[in-house]
Amino acid sequence: MEDFVKIITHARRFKSATKGFSLEQLQEVKTKLDTIIDDRIAEAEEAKRANAEKIEKIEKYREMMAADGIELEDLADEAPVKKGKRAPRPPKYGITNDAGEYITWTGQGRMPNVFKTKVDAGQSIDTFLIK
């Protein structure tokens, strides 16, 4: 694609690349290129018209706001509340391991091995609830 752009945008390269074309082929290329150009012009005019309509509506709303005594700053009084990092969950379960350390667990995520060993041995997880 880059080579195509280099050829078509440089007059001598383009002339050299089309040297083997017949007159009918060149006319066909010209017709297709004219069609592409016309389409692009129409798209640009449509975008310009749509933008003009948008600007017109914005101006209309500004006039309506001015008539009602509303300033643009009045609309943006409150800044959106940013959600920060949520507070960590409080521990829900607690147990003292063999080394004498007090281990807590929120009940979410992977169950610590100390709890897992006791639960696998048949104890209910509810016995470790922190009151």
pLDDT confidence of 79, banded at 50, 70, 90?
low
Q: What is the pLDDT of residues 97-123, one digit of tens each?
A: 889 999 999 999 999 999 999 999 999
Instruction: Find out whether 93 and 129 touch, Cβ atoms under 8 Å.
Output: yes
The whole-chain average pLDDT of the chain stands at 90
Q: Virtual CA dihedral for 18, 22, 28, 31, nearest 10 degrees?
A: 70
State residue 81's pLDDT score. 73
Give the 3-state secondary structure of residue 124: coil
CB-based contacts of 89: which residues, under 8 Å, 6+ apart? 106, 108
